[in-house]
Amino acid sequence: MNKLFFNAFCFFVTCINAQDTLTLRKALDIALTNNYGIRIAKIDEAIAQTSDSWSGAGAFPQVLLNVAPSVVSNNVNQKFINNTEINRNNAVQQSINGNVQLNYNVLNGFKVFVTKDRLNSIAKLSGQELQQKIEECYRNVALVYYRILSLRNTEKTILSQEQVALERRKLEETRFNLGKNGKAGWLEAAMDVQDMGMLKLNQSEAIVESFIEISKLLNQETGAETILIEPAGFGDLNALFNEKHQPDHAIQNSIYELRARIKNLERKEIERQRYPNISVLADYHYNRLNNQAGFNLFNQSYGPSAGLTINVPLYDGGRTAQQQKINSLESDQIDLEKEQWSREVKLAIQSEKSKMSFQQNIINLQNDKMPLAEEHLGLIRKKSELGEANALEFTQSIFRLIEIDAAKNDARLNFIESYINILYLCSELDRLLK
C-alpha cells in the first residue's frame, strides 16, 4: 500500500513538472525574440542603419575601369595614288582600348551633408518604429495573458460549483431510490449537472482560443495546459486606479519629430537643386591598334587627361518649385497628425480612466454580493439535505453564484485592460514587469 502511494505521488510530481510555466516576463521575452512583426522591424532598422553612410550620401568619387579589346577579320582591297595595290583576305585587325576614369562631384550646394543628415534621421526613425512595434506587441501579449488568467479564474468557480451540482444529483438519486422523493428532483439535478458541463466546455473553448492567440504573438506553440502565474502588480486594483499617469508617449512624439525633420531635410535637398554643380573628371587612357593590312598598320596612344564640368540650372519647367510645394504640404500634414494624435491620447486616457472607475464599482458590488450568494447557497444545500428545498431554488442559487463570480472576473479583466492601455499610451509598459 505504501509503495503504491509512493508511486502515485511520484507520478503526480512528474506530471506537474512536465507542465510548462509561463510568466508574463517570460512571455514578453519570447515575443521580443520570436514575434514576426518585431523581427521584420529589426531588419528594417538594420537596412536603415546600413544606408546611413557617407557613401550612401554620395560623398565619395567614382572610379571606373573600362577595357574594350577587339579582333576583326577584314578583306582588304586598296589602291594608292602611286598605283600600288593591296589585296588581302582575312586580314586580322587587333585593338585594345582602356581607361581608368575618376568622376567626383566637387560642389553641389553642399547637398551631400544634407543627404547624410537625412539618412541618419531615417535610421533613428527606424529605431523608434522598432521600439513602437515592441510596445504594441508587449501590450497585446499582456492583454491576452490577463484574459487567460481571468478565464481560468471563472473556470475554477465553474468546477467548484459542478462538484456541488454532482453532490446534489447523488443526494436526489439516493432519495429517489429510497422512495423519499419523486423523480422530478433527480431529473432536475441531473440537468443542472449537464448545464454545468456545457458551461465548463464553453469556458475551456474560450481558454483554448486565447492560447492560440498568444501562440501567434509569441510565434511559439503554447498549449492550454500551460500554467500562467498572476503577476503581483495587479493585486490592489484601487492602488492602480489612484496612480497618476501623464500622457508622455515619448516614442510617438519622437516619431513625429523625426518625420518632420526628414521632410525639412528633403526640402533643403530640393533647394540645393538650384545651386551650380561642379564635377571633376580625371582619366588615364591606353589605345593600341595592330593591323595586318591597310594604311595604318600600328597605332598606340596613352596618357592622362582631366576636365571640369559646370552645370548651372537655369530653368527646369517649374519642377523644383512643385517639389517644394508638395514638401511644404506634407510637412503641414505631419504637424496636423501630431496635433490630432496628442489630443486623441489625452481623450483616450480620460476614457480609460472612466472605464476603470466604472469597472471598479462593478468589482465592489460583486464583492459585496459574493458572500451573500455563498451564504444563500449554503442555506439551500442544508435545506436540500433536509428535503426542504425545491429544485429551482438550488439551480438558481448555483448559477447566481457563478454569474456573480464571472461578472467580477470580467470587470477585473476590463479594469486591467484599461490600465494596460494607459501604460501603453504613456510609454510606461515597463511597469508591467516591476
Whether residue 270 is contained in a domain is answered as yes
* Domain termination site, one of 290, 312, 334: 312
Whether residue 7 is contained in a domain is answered as no
Indicate the pLDDT class of residue 411, thresholds 50, 70 and 90.
very high
Residues 114 and 136 in one domain: yes
Distance CA 352, CA 422 (A): 7
- The boundaries of the domain holding residue 115 are 19-60+108-275+318-433
Whether residue 13 is contained in a domain is answered as no
pLDDT of residue 267 exceeding 80, the answer is yes
Residues 212 and 349 in one domain: yes
Q: Bridge-partner residues for 68, per DSSP? A: 97
Residues 52 and 84 in one domain: no
Q: CB–CB of 163/434 below 8 Å? A: no
Residues 253 and 378 in one domain: yes
* Domain termination site, one of 263, 296, 312: 312
Phi, psi of 301 (to 5 degrees): -145, 145
The CATH number of the domain holding residue 199 is 1.20.1600.10
pTM, full prediction: 0.80
Distance CA 184, CA 186 (A): 5
Q: Bridge-partner residues for 304, per DSSP? A: 284
Q: What is the mean pLDDT of residues 186-210?
A: 89
The contacts of residue 361 (CB under 8 Å, 6+ apart) are none
Cell numbers given for 146: 490577463
Residues 147 and 289 in one domain: no
Residues 208 and 340 in one domain: yes
Distance CA 380, CA 397 (A): 8
Q: What pLDDT digit, counting tens, does each position of 321-361 carry?
A: 999 999 999 999 999 999 999 899 989 988 999 999 999 99
Residues 226 and 172 in one domain: yes
Residue type, 414: N
- Could you tell me how far CA 33 lies from the centroid of its own chain? 11
Within 10 A of 33 (CB to CB), how many other CB atoms are there?
11
Q: What is the mean pLDDT of residues 10-15?
A: 39
Q: What pLDDT digit, counting tens, does each position of 368-393 carry?
A: 999 998 888 888 878 777 766 666 77
Q: What is the mean pLDDT of residues 265-290?
A: 87
Cell numbers given for 127: 529605431
Whether residue 14 is contained in a domain is answered as no
How many percent of the chain have pLDDT more than 70?
87
Residues 239 and 91 in one domain: no
Question: Residue 11 has what pLDDT?
Answer: 37
What does DSSP assign to residue 429?
Answer: G
Look at 50 and 288; give whichever has higher pLDDT.
50
- Secondary-structure breakdown of the chain: helix, strand, coil percentages, each rounded to the nearest 5: 65, 15, 15
Residues 40 and 118 in one domain: yes
Question: Residue 292 has what pLDDT?
Answer: 60
Looking at the structure of the chain, the number of domains it has is 2
Question: Residue 146 has what pLDDT?
Answer: 94
Phi, psi of 100 (to 5 degrees): -110, 120
Distance CA 282, CA 294 (A): 34
Residues 67 and 182 in one domain: no
Q: What pLDDT digit, counting tens, does each position of 248-265 carry?
A: 667 888 999 999 999 999
pLDDT of residue 64 exceeding 50, the answer is yes
Q: Write down the mean pLDDT value for the chain.
A: 84
Whether residue 33 is contained in a domain is answered as yes
| 110-124, 196-210, 299-313, 361-375: segment of lowest average pLDDT | 299-313
Residues 261 and 294 in one domain: no
Residues 250 and 291 in one domain: no
Whether residue 9 is contained in a domain is answered as no
Grid cell 518604429 — which residue? 129
Question: Residue 354 has what pLDDT?
Answer: 92
* Domain termination site, one of 312, 338, 367: 312
Whether residue 5 is contained in a domain is answered as no
Q: Bridge-partner residues for 227, per DSSP? A: 21
Question: Residue 407 has what pLDDT?
Answer: 92
Whether residue 406 is contained in a domain is answered as yes
Q: What pLDDT digit, counting tens, does each position of 159-191 carry?
A: 888 888 888 788 777 777 777 776 777 788 888
- Could you tell me how far CA 292 lies from the centroid of its own chain? 71
